[in-house]
Structure 1
C-alpha cells in the first residue's frame, strides 16, 4: 500500500514539474513576456530553491560534457596539500585557503569573519601607488599584490588583518531607525615591515554560478551601455575596465571580479589558484611567493603544478553552473517592489535583461535571454564604499555592478546575509543604504520611501 501511494505521489510530482518547466521554457524569447522573468539563466535555469541552488550544471549538456563538469566539480572542491603528495600536491608555500570551495562555499558568497574567526572567505588585495607595465596595480615589495595569511608548516605567513567596526545610526525619512557598520582594517603579525603607502582592498568571495552566461554576453552589448562622460545627463556614467589578458598578451575588456579586473573565466580561475592557493598553472607558472624575501625567488624549476586538463575542467565547471530560478514573480508585493526598483533608478546599473551572443564552442550559452541585473560596468559608488585602490582603469571609488540573480537565496545556501565587496552590509537594506556616488539619487529615493514600500522593494530583490 505504501509503495503504491509513493508511486502515485511520484507521478504527480513529475507531472507538475513537467507542466511548470514547459510553461516556462515556452516563454524564453519575448522580453516583454512576464513568464520569462522566472528564467534568470534562460534555458540554463535550475529549478531548485534550496541549499544546493547554486550548484547545478547546465541542463542540456551532453554526456561527455557532463563528465567534464563532474571532474571540474571534484577539482573545485579538492583540498590541496604540500608537495610531495600523491593527490593534489603543490599547496603554498604561502596561501589564503586550501581549495576553491573553501572560499566559494556551495558555489556561493563568502562570509566576513566573526569575533575570533579567521578571514578564510576573504582576501586582501595590496598595491602601492602607480601603474605596472600593463596598467595593473603595482605589487608591494616583499608582499606582492595579495596578503597571504597562511603558510605551510615551517614557513612564515605574510601576516593577518584585524577587522573592527564602527556603528553609526541613521533614520529613514519616515523616522524609522537603521544603522550601518564601517570596517577598519589593521595589519598585524607581519613578517616584515609594510611600506607606509600600501593600498589595501578587502574582498569576500563572490558567487560563481552563471558566470559562463555572463562571459557569453557580446562585448559590444556591454560597451553599448557604457556612458563614461554621462552624455545623456542621467547621472550614471558606467565605464568599461580594460585589463591585461595573460594568454593573448593584450589589453581587453574586463568583466569578472569586484572591479572587473579579469578578462575571462580561464584567467580568473588560474589567478585564483595561484594567488589564493599557491598553485601554479601554464598561465601563472611562477609561485605567488616569488620575489618575496623569505623565500627562494628562483623560478619554479619543476614546471607548473596543476595540469592543463585539470585547470580546464575547473574552468568548465564554473562556466557551466546554472542560475537558480526566480521566486514569487507574480506576488503583488514583489510586483510593487519591482516598480519601486525601477522608479528609484536602480535598474540603470542593475540591468535586468541581457542577451548572450553565439558561442560555437558551447551552444548552451548561446542566444539566451538572461536576467542577471548587472551591466558589468564600473560605477563610482562614492567615498563610503571606496577602497582608494585603483585597478587598471577602475578608480578607488569604482566597482563593477554586482549581479543580483540568486541573491535572495544567500541565507539558504550560505547561512548569512553579508553583502557588498567586503561583507560590511548585514542585510540587503544596509547594502542599499551604503550606495553613494552615481547611486546616491537612487539611495535617496529609497530613504524617502515608506516602510511598506521598503518592504516591497526588499521582497523584490529577495525574489531574484
Structure 2
C-alpha cells in the first residue's frame, strides 16, 4: 500500500484542515463571547459599604460573640429597658398552673418545651440530640397532609407532636395524660467527591415516631421535622413591604432561568384575611406577632390573645380535663401587655455586623456568590418600608440574603407534606446574615430545616430542584474557590 500522499492530496488535506480550524475558531469565539455575557450577567455589583452593617441602624454596635441576643444600635433609652424586660419571658421557663407565680404559669397540658430559649439557644438554633429515642426541644415534628385529599391535621394528634406533659394534675384525672410520642432519630451517611477529588460526607436524618400515646397517625398524614431557626433581625424582615416581595414572584418561571419564586398565601389570624407568609420553614405565618404567639401555644402550651385554644384535640380527653383544672376560666395564660413586651424584644434583636468582608478572599467569594446565581433566591438587600409597623425599623437598608419565597428544593430535602400553598418539596429561602457565627457563638453549626447539615458546604450540597445548577457549579469549583465562597458566607 502506498502511504505517501501526492502533492494534490496534501493540498486538499490542508484546505480541509483550514476549514475545520476556521469553524472551530468561530465556535470557540461564540462560546467565549457567550461565557463573557453570562459572567457579566451574573457578575457581582459594586461593593456597597452598607454591606458591612447588614441590619442598617439595627445592626449590633459592639457584638460580643457570647450570644446573638443583643439589641440593635437603633434602640435607645427606655426602649432598651423594655427590650430586656421582654427577654425575661423568652428566657425564663414556664411552669404548670396553679403556681406561686401567676405571671409565668400555664405550661401545657401537652407541650414540647418549657421556654423559648431551649429552641433558640443564644438567639440561634437549638441543641440537636444524638441518635436514638428521646424527648428534646430543638427539633419538633409537624404533622400535615401528604396529598390534597388527606386531612389538614391529624384528627387525634393535631398539627404538631407534643413530647411532654405536665405532672401536677395527673392524679386528679380520670383518663391517662400521656405524651403524644417520642422521636426516634437515626442518620444515613452519604459519601461524595467534588470535581477536584476532595471527599465530603452528607448526613440524612431518618426520623420516626415511637411510643405513640393515642394510637396510629391517620392515613395520609406525614412528618415534617423542624429545627428552631435564628431569631435575630426578625423585626426587619417584618418591615419589608409586601410589594417588594411580590415584585420577585415568578411562579411560572417566565424568564426561563429555572427559578420560580412563589409566596405562600396563609391566613392572618388578626385580620382574618389571606396574607403573604414570611415566617417558618414553609412560610406558614405572615407576621412576626403571629409567629411568636403561635409558638407560645403550640410549643409551650401558653394560650394567648391570638391563639386562645389549647392544643388538645377532641380525642384527647385527659388533656381537656387537665386544661379545665389548670385554667378553669379559659383565660389567656400570657396577657396582651406581656405579649407586647415579648414583641418589643422579638422585633429589635439586632443583626451581627459583617466580619472581614472586605478581605481579598471574601471579595473573591462575593463574586462567586453572584456567578453561581445564588442571589436569584437569596436576594441580597432591601430597604424596609417607609410605613413599617415599627417606626424605628422604617427606611433601613438591610442585607438579609433572602427573598422569603418558596422554592422547589428537590427530592433530597423533601418532607412530602403540604402546608397551605407549599408542596412537599418547597421551602422558604432562609436569611443568610450571621450564618457564619453559629460555631463561634454556640459551639455548633447546624443548617437547613431539620439541622442535617453540619457545615455551610453540606447545606449547599443538599440543594436540588431550582438550586441544582448552583449546587453543581459549587461542586465544580476548586478548593481555593470553595474556600473563598465560604469565607464570604461566613463574613456576611
What SS does the corresponding residue of 1:236 show, helix, strand or coil?
coil
The alpha-carbon deviation at position 175 of structure 1 amounts to 1.1
The alpha-carbon deviation at position 49 of structure 1 amounts to 4.4
Q: Distance in 2 between the 1:429 and 1:459 partners?
A: 11
Residue 47 of structure 1 aligns with which residue? 61
Question: How many residues were matched structurally?
Answer: 431
1:81 aligns with 2:95: yes
Q: Give the number of the structure whose alpha-carbon radius of gyration is greater.
A: 2
Aligned counterpart for 1:303 among listed residues 307, 331, 334? 331
Give the superposed CA RMSD.
1.9
Q: Distance in 1 between the 2:249 and 2:397 partners?
A: 20
The alpha-carbon deviation at position 33 of structure 1 amounts to 5.5
1:112 aligns with 2:133: no
1:284 aligns with 2:307: yes
Provide TM-score, normalisation by structure 2.
0.84
1:317 aligns with 2:383: no
Identify the range of structure 1 (372-381 vs 189-198) with the bigger mean alpha-carbon deviation: 189-198
The alpha-carbon deviation at position 129 of structure 1 amounts to 4.4
How far does the alpha carbon of each residue in 1:431-463 deviate from its partner, in whole angstroms, 9 at most, with x for none? 000000000000000011001111111111111
Identify the range of structure 1 (62-71 vs 261-270) with the bigger mean alpha-carbon deviation: 62-71
Q: Distance in 1 between the 2:431 and 2:354 partners?
A: 14
User: Does structure 2 retain, via aligned residues, the 8 Å contact 1:359–1:365?
Assistant: no
The alpha-carbon deviation at position 110 of structure 1 amounts to 2.1
What SS does the corresponding residue of 2:118 show, helix, strand or coil?
helix
1:193 aligns with 2:210: no
- Which consecutive unaligned segments of at least 5 residues does structure 2 have? 1-44, 171-176
Q: Distance in 2 between the 1:405 and 1:164 partners?
A: 30
What SS does the corresponding residue of 2:310 show, helix, strand or coil?
coil
Residue 70 of structure 1 aligns with which residue? 84
The alpha-carbon deviation at position 62 of structure 1 amounts to 4.1
The alpha-carbon deviation at position 35 of structure 1 amounts to 1.8
Q: Distance in 1 between the 2:197 and 2:72 partners?
A: 47
How far does the alpha carbon of each residue in 1:100-151 deviate from its partner, in whole angstroms, 9 at most, with x for none? 111111111123212466432111001234669xxx9711011010000111
Provide TM-score, normalisation by structure 1.
0.89
Distance 1:64 1:139, change over 3 A: same
How far does the alpha carbon of each residue in 1:70-108 deviate from its partner, in whole angstroms, 9 at most, with x for none? 211111112101100132110001100001111111111
Q: Distance in 2 between the 1:108 and 1:288 partners?
A: 26
What SS does the corresponding residue of 1:163 show, helix, strand or coil?
strand
Aligned counterpart for 1:447 among listed residues 469, 472, 475? 475
The alpha-carbon deviation at position 325 of structure 1 amounts to 0.1
User: Does structure 1 retain, via aligned residues, the 8 Å contact 2:131–2:187?
Assistant: no
Q: Distance in 1 between the 2:258 and 2:280 partners?
A: 24
The alpha-carbon deviation at position 197 of structure 1 amounts to 2.7
User: Does structure 1 retain, via aligned residues, the 8 Å contact 2:250–2:261?
Assistant: yes
1:211 aligns with 2:227: no
- Which consecutive unaligned segments of at least 5 residues does structure 1 have? 1-30
Identify the range of structure 1 (276-285 vs 411-420) with the bigger mean alpha-carbon deviation: 411-420
